[in-house]
Amino acid sequence: MGTVSPMRPSLLPEDLRIRLIVVFLAVCIFSQLQSLETAFFAFIGSLILGATERIERSLWRRLMHVEGFVLLIFITMPFLIPGPSLFSIGPLQASLEGVARAALIGCKVSASVLLLMVFLGPIEPIRLGAALYALKLPESLVRLFVMTVRYVSVIRMEATRLHKAMRARAFQPGTNRHTYTSYGNLIGMLLVRSLDRAHRVENAMLCRGYNGRYPYAELSAPKPMDWFSGSILMALALGILLMDKIPF
């Protein structure tokens, strides 16, 4: 990690509301592209954006986490779509059509993952609540989200403690009944303690006059710069959509 000044120039809108809207629309567009050229363009564009934003190295590693079945689609696609043969492995004929389809899917998936990483990777989840609320999501859903985020870190610590206690008693995970029962007890204990904690939290909240209202940080209006960069990025995504719809 290099030294990153806090005020480094960024192409991304700093305002979370604009950022969320832009990334949502852009991913909607990217995920439905039809032609290989535009999907490739989208992929390169996201790659450049990722490079200019100087993303932390740990985030890049996410690109490697492709789900198994995506890989499977990618591998089988060339052999399943009929068309002029490009190459063959044993009795299997890979068609040009099929390779193009696999490449299209590969570009769309990686472009979308890249966008998510660049736009949402650096956001702390706990900060998202106010933005989601400002975007008029149901208040109870936002409250559920914010509190889940808050308690995931607490309960993860609890789980780590329980896990350590198991290891201290020479617990060795393996494929056997004992392992599954032990993990079952661990999860059961986690749930019991969570319910206890919920009871305490609820009482503490009631003490402070909780009546279903939950305060959210007031967000300041987006800066002109945010509107500007948001519209540029949106225009780029729309440009890709136009390119996709109008054959050239």
Cβ atoms of 43 and 103 closer than 8 Å: no
**Closer residue to another protein in complex, CB, 180/228:** 180
Among 1, 4, 7, 195, contact with another protein (rule: CB under 8 A): 195
Residue at token pair 């299209």: 104
Does residue number 166 form part of the binding site for another protein (CB under 8 A)? Answer: no
Cβ neighbours for 31, distance < 8 A, ≥ 6 positions apart: 108, 112
Q: Candidates 45-53, 183-191, 219-227, 235-243 — which segment interacts with another protein by CB under 8 A?
A: 183-191
Q: Candidates 7-15, 199-207, 221-229, 239-247 — which segment interacts with another protein by CB under 8 A?
A: 199-207
Q: Candidates 49-57, 87-95, 136-144, 224-232 — which segment interacts with another protein by CB under 8 A?
A: 136-144
Does residue number 118 form part of the binding site for another protein (CB under 8 A)? Answer: no
Q: How many residues bind another protein (CB under 8 A)?
A: 84
Among 184, 225, 228, 245, contact with another protein (rule: CB under 8 A): 184
Binding to another protein in span 72-101, by CB under 8 A = 72-73, 76-77, 80-81, 101
Q: What tokens were used for 151?
A: 């308690």
Cβ neighbour number for residue 153 with a 10 Å cutoff: 10
- Say how far apart CA 19 and CA 62 lie, in whole Å: 20
- Say how far apart CA 38 and CA 61 lie, in whole Å: 25
Among 8, 136, 169, 177, contact with another protein (rule: CB under 8 A): 177
Q: What tokens were used for 222?
A: 């987006």
Does residue number 40 form part of the binding site for another protein (CB under 8 A)? Answer: no
Phi, psi of 78 (to 5 degrees): -60, -30
* Closest among 107, 92, 132, 131 to 45, alpha carbons compared: 107
Among 51, 92, 152, 232, contact with another protein (rule: CB under 8 A): 152
- CA torsion sign for 14, 16, 19, 21 is negative
Does residue number 189 form part of the binding site for another protein (CB under 8 A)? Answer: yes
Q: How far is the CB of 224 from another protein (least distance, A)?
A: 27
Please list the residues that pair with 95 across neighbouring strands: 85
Among 47, 96, 134, 149, contact with another protein (rule: CB under 8 A): 149
Binding to another protein in span 208-227, by CB under 8 A = 210-212
Q: Candidates 45-53, 185-193, 216-224, 234-242 — which segment interacts with another protein by CB under 8 A?
A: 185-193
- CA torsion sign for 124, 129, 132, 135 is negative
Phi, psi of 89 (to 5 degrees): -115, 105
Q: How far is the CB of 223 from another protein (least distance, A)?
A: 24
